[in-house]
């Protein structure tokens, strides 16, 4: 398995998430413990409603757990306040979502420049242009999301995620809205950039082709991790 096998870049301990449904408490995750090592690619799988997206959100600090602990890059994620978690994400993480999450009023170039600008980069345009070339959209830099196909929008989203050279990329169903051929192209792009940058990948997916490309598979059932801890 690639990378540093000793120090996990992501570690969850006894992670739980419950939500109130009025009269009752609904358990979404219970007692989840896992480690992800640097440069590893990990697929999180399970049937709909098994807690996959919730787990990803908790590992990324986008949601807060009811119980347990998450460490990212050696930082206790939930010992930080919301601003602290946002700063840590900006420094360490990139994100790709099923629904792309591009800003509709910005061009492809502006969308990819945004995380660099938020990080205070003195030159956001140059690296963003280079990244759009890398994802095959050098001729679409001034197009808005509505002018791009689904596959092109996901390529912009992947470019935006990798342009800051994050240590870890969280992806939630990155091929979920794409046809098989386009999905296969996006998978190649995702793992090509992963090899080039040494980024750790944590992917929630139903896509068997994407799962097969990963070093390890974590399987959730009814909110519990049933396979793949190590």
At residue 229 the predicted structure's pLDDT band, cuts being 50, 70 and 90, is low
Domains and CATH numbers, the chain: 38-63+88-227 (3.40.50.300)
Q: What is the mean pLDDT of the chain?
A: 91
Query: With pLDDT > 70 as the criterion, what percentage of the chain qualifies?
Result: 96
Residue pLDDT, tens place only, 7-53: 799 999 999 999 988 888 889 999 999 999 999 999 999 998 899 99
Report, as an integer, the average pLDDT of 169-175: 92
Strand partners, 168: 93, 200
Which pLDDT score is estimated for 3? 45
Q: Is 5's pLDDT higher than 60?
A: no
Q: If we measure between CA atoms, which residue out of 70, 52, 24 comes closest to residue 226? A: 52
Q: If we measure between CA atoms, which residue out of 133, 139, 180, 183 comes closest to residue 148? A: 139
Would you state the structure tokens that stand for residue 7, as one six-digit string? Answer: 């120090």
Report, as an integer, the average pLDDT of 64-68: 94
Q: Determine how many CB atoms are found less than 10 A away from the CB of residue 185.
A: 16
Residues in the chain: 230
Q: Is 4's pLDDT higher than 80?
A: no
Q: If we measure between CA atoms, which residue out of 117, 67, 115 comes closest to residue 89? A: 115
Residue 147 three-state SS: helix
Q: What is the pTM of this model?
A: 0.89
Residue pLDDT, tens place only, 111-129: 999 999 988 889 999 999 9
At residue 6 the predicted structure's pLDDT band, cuts being 50, 70 and 90, is low
Pairing of strands 93-97, 75-76: unpaired
Pairing of strands 41-45, 8-20: unpaired
Q: Is 203's pLDDT higher than 50?
A: yes
């Amino acid at each position: 398995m690639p990378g540093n096998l000793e120090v996990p870049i992501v570690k969850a301990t006894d992670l739980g998430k419950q939500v109130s449904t009025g009269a009752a408490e609904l358990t979404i995750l219970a007692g989840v413990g896992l480690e992800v090592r640097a440069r590893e690619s990990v697929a999180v799988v399970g049937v709909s409603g098994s807690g996959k997206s919730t787990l990803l959100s908790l590992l990324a600090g986008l949601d807060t757990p009811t119980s347990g602990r998450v460490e990212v890059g050696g930082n206790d994620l939930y010992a930080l306040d919301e601003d602290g978690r946002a700063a840590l994400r900006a420094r360490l993480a990139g994100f790709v979502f099923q629904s792309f999450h591009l800003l509709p009023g910005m061009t492809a170039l502006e969308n990819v420049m945004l995380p660099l600008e938020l990080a205070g980069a003195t030159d956001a345009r140059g690296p963003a242009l280079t990244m759009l070339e890398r994802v095959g959209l050098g001729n679409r830099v001034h197009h808005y999301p509505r002018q791009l196909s689904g596959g092109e929008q996901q390529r912009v989203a992947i470019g935006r995620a990798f342009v800051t050279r994050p240590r870890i990329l969280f992806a939630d169903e990155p091929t979920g809205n794409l046809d098989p051929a386009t999905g296969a192209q996006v998978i190649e792009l995702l793992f090509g950039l992963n090899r080039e940058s040494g980024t750790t990948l944590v992917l929630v997916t139903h896509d068997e082709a994407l799962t097969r490309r990963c070093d390890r598979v974590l399987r959730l059932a009814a909110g519990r991790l049933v396979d793949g801890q190590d």
